[in-house]
Every structure is written in C-alpha cells, then in structure tokens.
Amino acid sequence: MAAALGWWGVPLGILAGTLRGSAPFLFVSLGECLTEKSGKINLGLEGTLLTGAMSAYAISYLGAEKWGLSPALSPWLGVIIAGIAGMVLGFIHAWLSQQPKVNDVAVGIAMIIFGSGIAFFLGKPFIQPKAPQLPTIDLGFWTSIPQVQSALKISPLFILGLLIAPLMAWFFKSTRWGLFVRAVGDSPDAALAMGISIKRVRMLCIVAGSFLAGIGGACLSLYYPGIWSESISSGQGLMAVALVIFARWNPINCLYASLFFGGAQAIGPALQAVGIEQGRYLFNAAPYVLTLVIMIITCSPKKTIGGAPGALGTISG
Amino acid sequence: MLSSNWRRVAEAVVIPIAAILFALILFGIFCAACGQNPFAVYGLIIRSAFGSWRSFQGTLLRAAPLMLTALCTALPARLGLMIIGNEGALVMGGLGAIIMGLLFSYGSLLPSPEQVEKTLGLAPVIVQLAMAVGGIVFGGLWIAAVGALRHYRAVNETISSLLMNYIAIALLNHLVEGPMKDPASLNKPSTFPIPDAVSIGNLPTTRIHYGLLYGIIACIIAYVLIQRTTFGFAARTAGGNVKAARVAGLPVGKLAVIICFLAGSCAGLAGMVEVAAVQKQANTSLIAGYGYTGILVAFVARYNPVACTIVAVLLGGILNAGGALQRSLSMPDATVGVFQGLVFLVILYSESLYGRFKIFKEPEFNSPSPASASSTATPA
C-alpha cells in the first residue's frame, strides 16, 4: 500500500499507527493512574486487558450472530461487557491486595496469570470467527490519497479516551472525591483523620481503573488490530505501569505518553510496509526497550520521583 | 524451643496444603460451571501426571526446568527483590548455550556443509561444559542487569525484568529468523542443531534426561548457600532490613547484583538444558511458559529452594496433564493457566493467615491464667 508513497509511507505509517495503537495504552494508563493515585499498584492490568479484549470480541460476535442484535449495536455491548469483566478482575485484585501481609505486586503477577488464563480458556472458540467491529470516524474526507484516508480513520473510543484524560485531571484537582483519592494515596494517616475509609476508596479506584483497562482491551479486539488472538496485548498492560511513572501520575501526561508509545509500536510495521524486513523483530521490541530506557532515565536512587503518591508501594492501610 | 520450631514447620506445611486443596475446590467449581465433571478432571490429572511410571517420567521431564526457573525468583526474594524475568533469562540461557554449542562443535555459528560433516571433534563433556557456561553467563548477566538497575538507578525490578522477557524473546526471534537461521529449517525457523553426540542423554532405562539432576543439585546448592553460609546470612540480613545491613557495613548493592546473577544463571541453565537435551537447537519452542510457572513454584515453596524441588514436581505434573485434558476432555490448553492462576491467588491469600491460628502458636506458660487473676481480685 505504501509503495506508491515511497519513503513518505514510513512517517505516514507511524502516524496511522500512533492514532490507532495509542487507544489501548491511553485507557490502560488512565486506569493505572487512577489506581496508583490511591496508593496501590495493579500489575494485573495485563490480564484485565486480555480479558477485556476477549469478552468484547466474544460479545460482539455472539450479539450479531446468535442473539440477533444489529451489527452496529453489538460491538458497543461488547465494550460495556469488557469494562464489566475488567471490574470483576479489579474487584479480586482490590480485595486480595488489601488483606494483611499481602503484596500488591505479587497479586498483580497472579492476576496476569489468572486473567490471561480465563481469557485464553473462554476465548478459544472466538479465534476463528469474525466479529462486527466498532465504527470509525473518517477524518480524511479532505484528501483523495487513500493511504492518508485510511490513516485518519479514528475510533470513537480513542476520542472518548481523549475526553477522559482532562476529565480525570479535573477530577483529581477540583473535586471532593478527587481530594479523597489523593489523600488516601499520599498519606493514609491524614485520610484516616479526615474520616475517609481507605479500603473503600482504594476498592473503588482499583475497580474503576480496571473498568477503563477492560475498555482498553475492547480497543484492541474491536478496533485495532481488530482480531482476537492470544498474543494480542503483548505486554501493553505492563507497559502502562511504566507509562504512568513516565507521565508523573498526571492524566494529561498519560495522554502524551500513550501517543508516544503508540508511535514507537508502529515503527516496525511501518518499516515493514515499505519493504524493510531486516531486523523487524528488533523494531517490534522498540516499545519495551523504550519503556526500560525511560525508567532508567527517570528513576533515581537519590530521591523519590516528583508527583509519586506518598503511600505507593507501602503495605500501610 | 523444639516445640515452637515444630509448630512453625507444621504451620508452613499445613497452610499451603490447605490452600492448594481450596484452590482445587475452586477449580472444581470452575470446571462444573464449564460443563465438565470436576471429579473426572481431577482423576485425569492425577492419572496422567502421577498414575504410572511412564506418565510420571513426563512429569519429571517438565519438573526439571521448573526447579531451575523457580530459583530465579526464589533467590532474589531472600533479598527482598521480586524478579519475574525467568522466561527471558531462560531464553537468553538457551541462546548462550546454542552459541557455545555450535562454536565448540563446528567452529562456526553458520556451519557450511563441510563443517557439519567434519566436526571439531572435541569431547562431548567439553562441549556440554561450554554450553552450560554459555547458558549460565547469558542468563546470569541478563538478570544481573536487572539487579544493577534496581540498585544503582532504583528501577523497579519487577517491571524491568518483565520488560526484559519481551526483549529477550524479540532477540531470539531476530536471531533464529535472521543471522543464525539454518536455511534447512523452513516451517519453524531455528538455528543449526548441535550434533547428537554432544546432546545431554537420558538417565539409564528412562526418558528423563540428566537435566533433572542439574535442577536438584542447583536447588540443594542454593539452599546451602542461603541457609548455611555467611554470604547467605548477609543476603538474608539485607533482605530483612536494608538500613540495618548498611549500618553493619554489608555491601548491599554488590549482594543484590551477585544474587541476581546467580538467579539468572539458574534460569539460563534451564534454557541450556532445554537446548542441549530436548530441542537440540534454539527456536521459539524455548518459550514454553516454564519461566512463568517457575514464579508460581517459587511462591508456593515460599522461596525455599529445597521445597522448590517438590513443588516443581507437583506443578510439572499439572503441566503434563494439560495435554491429556486437551485430548481426552477436549478442554482448551489454557485450562492449566486458569488452574495456575487460582492456585497463585489462593496461595497469596493464605499469606495473610500465617500467625492467625492459635493452634500453631507456642502456648505461653509464664503469663498468669485469667482464673487465678480473678480469684485474687477483691470483689467490689
């Protein structure tokens, strides 16, 4: 496809990949941001992402093929069910990680294995069939170049994510509930003195964050790449954790970081599209290397990172 | 003293067993919800994992790499580090082993037909030793980097080790598809195979390879190192309280890097065993999930290297039964993943139960009993 455009295909491919591939990153990182603001880490979002992708695809397929829903409606039902499936996993994580002496990182690892196990188990019958996809919004109407048109097909979920990021920033900054979340995450003792139930706030934050991660999964299976397979998420849920550190626990920065990561992910396929096959596996590793490099640069043993919730990673409360 | 020790051991044995039983019940409910008879599933798992000598051999075959990958999580855990890069270290170990194996057998990574015909003729022991060194060094350095990043840059070791899994897998894919690809491997890109003469053989009259012994020996060495040496004592001290260890003058950073190197070298050795005994070449078959199951083994064994051997056999049995579940009951192969996840979650919950049961506590003889206290009190 990009052959006609020559080398211009590479930046165009990266742009298209950024617009498509950053939606899951955006939802997962916003979910992780909310969770970490309340003082808990949820590594298990990788499992949530897979479960969300599987359930969205399965419901979209079943809705259209078996239950007689219109193909315009059933993907949206899939998106909602993906969020709810994420909430169920989030509830398990929230309950378990708040037991005495239980480490939330360890629970996260367990939830990756459990969530992906459930997704692979229930998703086996849905690898072959084709499910109705989410509609796209075409922003490329002004041009006649088909490559540019296809690059500018935007998912409505991506736009939803674009709206959620400032909304969440406003929530943290200006609302009473946002203050509660920040208090619980920064100083559980102070929150306790304010009469806030730490357990309840963290439970709500983790469950709501997992809801967003479930929708991130739906972006994967119902928009781009738009299939359900067992290798669909390939560590994006884990990268979200690093992404939130990179974004300094700020939802607006999460948006920029997601675009950046979506672009990094698109380098390999974009080069492949213009016929560069050499080292494509190395280019596919770009997001992981990038995450690692970012963590090496931003972390420091001398001081805690600016913006980090004070109680993050402690077993208090 | 003896009695209290006995009770502690009882607690450390009873709680995990009760947890696994509870996980079995949950898994049974899951199977029933999916329309399977849970007792038929259990029966099949037990029969195909431990039912006969033949099936038990398959279990031990899978337990061998698990023991080694479990050490990759269990050793750093004593220092308070949660490393889950086992899969990546295994892959890197496999790569290191195949590189050394090819160099010491043919003198080239891409041997020409003449070189394949005329091997260098080194004794198999030397080639195997070189492969083991390759696996140990590659896997060790891979995880040592994680430890160094943790200590010198405060990079979270759980996330960095996980990212390095993906990087290692990408590296493997790159090498077997490109620079190290055997042109004869069409369907499944692979490196050149090592000669049969230098592969690790089987224990006499069995189909279990010597890799099982590697695993058992490594676990025993790790146990002695952690529990019976000054080095292990220093590591445990640093794991208990970093500040106290620093005050005592222990080189915490060096300890972390060394422990991580040892941990990675164990997982690398698992990769070497997979290459030298099972695959005879490096390809994507190395990514079989032994790394992730190894994390679970280390958790269930509560980071005790000797307990790792027993737990590895148990979980190896469940992995072994996975194929039978697929064939006989036509359940997806991910069933094993669901079961592993359930075990993992229940085991984690059981962590909060330690010290909660009176029965495992040393009875207190010195405190005055409530009865005598009330009799001396003057009635109002």
pLDDT of residue B349 exceeding 60 = yes
Q: What is the pLDDT of residues B90-125, one digit of tens each?
A: 999 999 999 999 999 998 999 988 888 888 888 999
Burial category of A148 from C-beta neighbours within 10 Å (exposed 0-12, middle 13-18, buried 19 and up)? middle
Q: Which tokens in the block code for residue B166?
A: 């993906």
Please provide the average confidence, as pLDDT, over all residues in chain B: 89
pLDDT recorded at residue A5: 64
Cα gap B102→B309, rounded to integer Å: 31
Q: Which tokens in the block code for residue B322?
A: 């996975």
- Residue in chain B lying closest to A283 (CA): B170
Any idea which of A142-151, A223-232, B130-139 has the lowest mean pLDDT?
Answer: A142-151
pLDDT of residue B1 exceeding 60 = no
Q: Which of residues B59 and A276 earns the better pLDDT score?
A: B59
pLDDT recorded at residue A28: 96
pLDDT recorded at residue B215: 96
Residues 288-307 of chain B whose Cβ lies under 8 A from any Cβ of chain A: 292, 295-296, 299
Instruction: Please tell me which of the candidates A96, A235, A279 has its beta carbon nearest to residue B348.
Output: A96
A276 touches chain B (CB under 8 A): no
Residues of A in contact with B74 (CB under 8 A): none
Which residues share a beta bridge with B209?
Answer: B202
Mean pLDDT, residues B346-375: 69
Q: pTM, whole model, 2 decimals? A: 0.89
pLDDT of residue B371 exceeding 70 = no
Residues 98-117 of chain B whose Cβ lies under 8 A from any Cβ of chain A: none
Q: Tell me the pLDDT band of A57, cut-offs 50, 70 and 90.
A: very high
- DSSP 8-state secondary structure symbol assigned to residue A40: -
Residues of B in contact with A43 (CB under 8 A): 158-159
Residues B348, A105: C-beta atoms closer than 8 Å: no
pLDDT recorded at residue B14: 87
Counting residues of chain B whose pLDDT is more than 90, the rounded percentage is 62
Q: Tell me the pLDDT band of B363, cut-offs 50, 70 and 90.
A: low
- DSSP 8-state secondary structure symbol assigned to residue B202: B
CA distance B126 to chain A (A): 33
Q: Which residues contact B227 (CB under 8 A, 6 or more apart)?
A: none
B171 touches chain A (CB under 8 A): yes
* Strand-pair category, A137-138 with A153-154: antiparallel
Residues of B in contact with A120 (CB under 8 A): 332-334, 337
What's the Cα-to-Cα distance from B33 to each of A103, A110, A310, B337, rounded to whole Å? 30, 22, 43, 17
Contact by Cβ (8 Å): B124, A199: no
pLDDT recorded at residue B380: 40
Q: What is the pLDDT of residues A198-226, one digit of tens each?
A: 999 999 999 999 999 999 999 999 998 88
Q: What is the pLDDT of residues B137-195, one digit of tens each?
A: 999 999 999 999 998 888 889 889 989 999 999 999 999 988 999 998 888 999 999 99
**Amino acid, res. A173:** K
Which residues share a beta bridge with A137?
Answer: A154
Contact by Cβ (8 Å): A75, A222: yes
User: What is the ipTM for the molecules in this complex?
Assistant: 0.89
Q: Tell me the pLDDT band of A1, cut-offs 50, 70 and 90.
A: very low
pLDDT recorded at residue B366: 58
Residues of B in contact with A298 (CB under 8 A): none
Cα gap A14→A147, rounded to integer Å: 12
Mean pLDDT, residues A121-140: 89
Number of Cβ within 10 Å of residue A316's Cβ equals 11
pLDDT of residue A271 exceeding 90 = no
pLDDT of residue A62 exceeding 90 = yes
Residues B348, A110: C-beta atoms closer than 8 Å: yes
A241 touches chain B (CB under 8 A): yes
Instruction: Please tell me which of the candidates A96, A118, A288 has its beta carbon nearest to residue B163.
Output: A288
CA distance B291 to chain A (A): 12
Residues of B in contact with A102 (CB under 8 A): 348-349, 351-352
Counting residues of chain A whose pLDDT is more than 70, the rounded percentage is 96
Q: Tell me the pLDDT band of B372, cut-offs 50, 70 and 90.
A: very low
pLDDT recorded at residue A225: 87
A2 HSE (CA, 13 A, CB side): 20
Mark out the alpha helices in B107-156 (DSSP H runs).
113-117, 124-153
Residues of B in contact with A238 (CB under 8 A): 159, 162-163
Residues A295, B155: C-beta atoms closer than 8 Å: yes
Mean pLDDT, residues A108-119: 93
What is the helix (H) or strand (E) element at residue A284, kind and residue range?
helix A280-284
pLDDT recorded at residue A63: 93
Mean pLDDT, residues A87-92: 97
Residues B164, A292: C-beta atoms closer than 8 Å: yes
Q: What is the pLDDT of residues A219-263, one digit of tens each?
A: 999 998 889 998 888 889 988 888 898 898 999 999 999 999 999
Q: Tell me the pLDDT band of B278, cut-offs 50, 70 and 90.
A: very high
Any idea which of A131-140, A295-304, B197-206, B261-270 has the lowest mean pLDDT?
Answer: A295-304
pLDDT recorded at residue A147: 78
Which residues share a beta bridge with B202?
Answer: B209
pLDDT of residue B373 exceeding 70 = no
Q: Which residues contact B181 (CB under 8 A, 6 or more apart)?
A: B175, B189, B190, B191
Cα gap B280→B186, rounded to integer Å: 16
Residues of A in contact with B34 (CB under 8 A): 121
Interface A:B, Cβ pairs < 8 A: 137
Q: Tell me the pLDDT band of A317, cut-offs 50, 70 and 90.
A: very low
pLDDT recorded at residue A304: 67
Q: Tell me the pLDDT band of A118, cut-offs 50, 70 and 90.
A: very high
SS3 B302: coil
Residues B82, A106: C-beta atoms closer than 8 Å: yes
pLDDT recorded at residue A4: 56
